[in-house]
Every structure is written in structure tokens, then in C-alpha cells.
Homo-oligomer: A and B are copies of this chain.
Amino acid sequence: MSGKGKRAAGAEVAAMNKKKLKGTEEILAKVRRLAERVKAEPEVQKSLAELNLPHACREVVDKDADAVLGEVETAILMVAASILRGEGFTYTLPNRSKGNQLYVPELDRIVLKDSMSHRAFANTATCRKAVITTRILQLVHELCRKRIHVTKRDLFYTDVKLFEDQGNSDAILDDLACMLGCTRSSLHVVASEKGVVVGRLTFREDGDQIDCRRMGVGGKAIPPNIDKVDSIQSDALFILLVEKDAAFMRLAEDRFYNQFPCIIITAKGQPDVATRLFLKKLKQTLRIPVLALVDSDPYGLKILSVYMKGSMNMSYDSSNLTTPDIKWLGVRPSDLDRFNIPQQCRLPMTDEDLKTGRKLLEEEFVKANPEWVKELEIMVTTKVKAEIQALSSFGFQYLSHQYLPLKLQEGDWI
């Protein structure tokens, strides 16, 4: 009967927690203070130039269609000039290899160092690449001129004969972004979307006025082309970043954002580029805190790391894709005992999980935050993980009626 005893104890803790809950305004006090602090922070998006790094580094920025058209035309004019000078048809591009990447702690981002490579047409080793580069420059020019967006796959299919493999056109597209100094989405080549958003947010998308407070339970699909999003407005105190679809649905159906003014976002698992761009844009425009609700396992933290510091592959684009300042609200390893999550809802970590967890302990973005280290150490020591849904063991609406309000009331984020 010890199982029954434990379940009773769990119910007791839940009841006790419920008693602790104050009125909405009191619950919101701590978040309000955090939100004020975030708003008061000087708006410096620290730039590379200000840092005076020993070597020249480069990042890309968002540019509008006209600016990209200008860059493409300049690039071609430079090639023409090079030919006229008798130096031949050659592109000069930043090197994107790992050896040319640099983690800048002051920025908490990966940037590209200054190594450049040359791509000559009259060289058997680079001839094909020079041709593909020219073709993609032309296609990007067309996209920007027509103001339309396509996926990488569409781009590949415009000239399968030349590109042969999508890997070729993808890689050179990334090269071009670096060369032209603009983000990949500025080139009007976008990722397909999978994120959704709901809550205290209105914006304009391609001229349409979108009101995320009136998006039912399904929410609004996050658009693939962030440059068509403007007029962002919100009275939210914070952004709630949710790992999983199911938790998003719970919060949307309970209209969590009506009681606690917030914007709820999920990428349904591994974050895609569109969702990362959208979060970044919201955070930059509204300057409100981002609180994350992820599974208590290494994978949940991995997801946070992609939002916060990006992936190696897109390092040159990191400043546009990353939202460095995300608070880890839950579900944290220490929550399991604190909220008395039943033993049956705690899962043993696999060897793979443990390896990932230990590797995370070595990562800069974890080490930079001693409280994260502490939590992660609890995880790899107890060798136990839990999903957000484990909270359902106290009732379907425990997440929105008790767990999150209590977390907010206590300012329990790290």
C-alpha cells in the first residue's frame, strides 16, 4: 500500500500548493518586476564592431529586398571589374568552415572569422561552384525583384541539371548569404514553418491584421517569411516558450493568457528557423522576458540551446536567429521532488540521455549559469527524467491552474 500512500502524499502536496496560490495580481508581481527589468535594460544588441576583436569577424544582417538587389548587383559589378582588370571571373567569399568559426563570449554567439576563399571560373577546382554561384545570384535577384519567397527545395528544382544535388544549391545559398552580408531569409529563401502562436499579440502579416487573442485553440501558424511581419503589438508581460504541442493546446484551451498576460509559442519539438526568427523578432520588438517550459531531460535543454545560441551550421546567421536571454521556468529536475511528481511518471535516463546530459555540462551556455549547472547535475546524478505531461498526474489542468501560476508567483525561473 506504499504506492497508495505516495499517491495520497502527492495529492496532499497538490492541495497545499493550491492553498499557497494568491490572487492574479499578486501572482504577477514577480513577473512584472522581471518584465520591467528587461524593458529597462539598455537596448544594446552588442555589435561585433564595438568589441574590437583581435581579428575581423563578420555576421550577417536582415536586409530588405531592395538592399539585397543592390548587393547582388554590386557583387556582379565587382566580378565584371575584375574581368576588365584582366584578373578573371572570380568571387571572393567568407569561409564557413568550422575552423573559421569563433564563439564570442561577450556576444554569447558564434561568428565567422575573416578567412576568405576565392572561387574562380577559370580553375577546374572551382569552375562548377562559380557557375552555380552565378545561377543562384540570378535566382535570388529574381525572387527579390518579384518579392516572392520559395523554399530551398524549390530553388533546387529550378535547375536540377546544373545543381545535380540539393546539397550543392543549399551550401552555395549559405555562401551567398555570407558574401552579401545578409540573412538567408533576406534572400527570400525560407524554411517551411511548423510553429504556432496564441495569446496577447497582434501583428500584420503580408498586410493582414492578425489577432492572436482570437485564434481559437489551434492558434496561428507562424509565418515562414518573417520579413512580411510588422506592426507587432502586445500588452503581454512575458513570452511563454513551450516545447510540446500538448502543453500548448492545454494552455490555449484554458486561455491561460487571459488571466496571465502572455504570448504562447511552440515549435512542436526541435525549433525550426521560422519559429526562431519569430521569437527573436518578438523579443527584440517587445522587450519582454522569455520563460521556457520544456521536458526535464537533456533533449529539453538541447532545444533551449538551439533557441539561445543557434546551431553550428547557421553560425554566420546566429545574431538573427538566437534569443540569448531565455529563463528556464520548468520542468526542472528539482521540480520533480518539489512538486512530488509520482515515481511512475519519472523515467530512467538511457545511456544516450546521460551522455548528452554530461556533454551539456561542458557547454558554455550552461556553465555561464551556475543554477543551470546545479539542475543539470541533479538530472545526471538521479538519472531520472520527466515530461511536461507528468504534471497531468495531478489533474488535466494542474499545469495551467497550479504549476505555472505558482512558478510565476514565486519568480521561480533561473
Question: Is A157 within 8 A of B206, CB to CB?
Answer: no
Q: What is the CA–CA distance of A264 and B160 in the complex, to the nearest angstrom? A: 28
Cβ-defined contact, A206 with B217, below 8 A: yes
> Do B210 and A268 have beta carbons less than 8 Å apart?
no
Known: A193-B245, A217-B206. A397 touches B149 (CB 8 A): no
CA distance A51 to B3 in the complex (A): 52
Label chain A's interface by main secondary structure.
mixed
Interface residues of A in 205-260 (CB under 8 A from B): 205-210, 214-225, 228-229, 245-246, 249-250, 253-254
Cβ of A363 within 8 Å of any chain B Cβ, yes or no, is no
Q: Contact at B205–A210, with CB atoms within 8 Å?
A: no
- Whether A389 pairs with B209 at a CB distance below 8 angstroms is no
A390 in the interface, Cβ–Cβ < 8 Å? Answer: yes
A157 touches B345 (CB 8 A): yes
A151 within 8 A of B: yes
Q: Which residues of B contact A17 (CB under 8 A)?
A: none
Could you tell me the distance between the alpha carbons of A50 and B319 in the complex, rounded to whole angstroms?
Answer: 64
Known A216-B223, A217-B206, A223-B217; judge A392-B157 contact (CB<8 A): yes
> Do B246 and A153 have beta carbons less than 8 Å apart?
yes
A381 at the interface (CB under 8 A from B): no
Are B159 and A192 within 8 A (Cβ)?
Answer: no
Total number of A residues with any Cβ neighbor in B under 8 Å: 62
Q: Is the pair B208, A149 in contact by a Cβ cutoff of 8 Å? A: no
| Distance (whole angstroms) from the CB of A217 to the closest CB of chain B | 5
- Knowing A160-B345, A246-B153, say if A396 contacts B228 (CB, 8 Å): no
Alpha-carbon distance between A158 and B393 when the two chains are bound, in angstroms: 4
If the complex has contacts A194-B268, A210-B215, are A7 and B161 also in contact, measured as CB distance less than 8 A? yes
Contact A249–B224 (Cβ < 8 Å): yes
A158-B392, A396-B154 known; A205-B216 Cβ under 8 A: yes
Point out the residue from B7, B143, B216 that lies within 8 Å of A208, measured CB to CB.
B216
Could you tell me the distance in whole angstroms from the C-beta of A206 to the nearest C-beta in chain B? 5
- Measured in the bound complex, the distance between the Cα atoms of B198 and A220 in whole Å is 11
* A217, B154: Cβ atoms closer than 8 Å: no
What are some 29 contacts across the A-B interface (CB < 8 A)?
A3-B161, A7-B161, A148-B254, A149-B217, A149-B253, A153-B389, A154-B392, A154-B396, A155-B392, A157-B387, A157-B389, A157-B390, A158-B395, A160-B345, A160-B393, A161-B342, A161-B344, A193-B245, A196-B221, A205-B218, A206-B253, A209-B214, A210-B215, A216-B228, A218-B220, A218-B221, A218-B222, A218-B224, A224-B249
Starting from the known contacts A153-B387, A192-B245, A221-B221, 14 additional A-B residue pairs (CB-CB under 8 Å) come to A154-B389, A154-B396, A156-B389, A160-B345, A193-B218, A194-B194, A205-B215, A206-B216, A208-B215, A210-B214, A215-B220, A218-B221, A218-B222, A220-B221
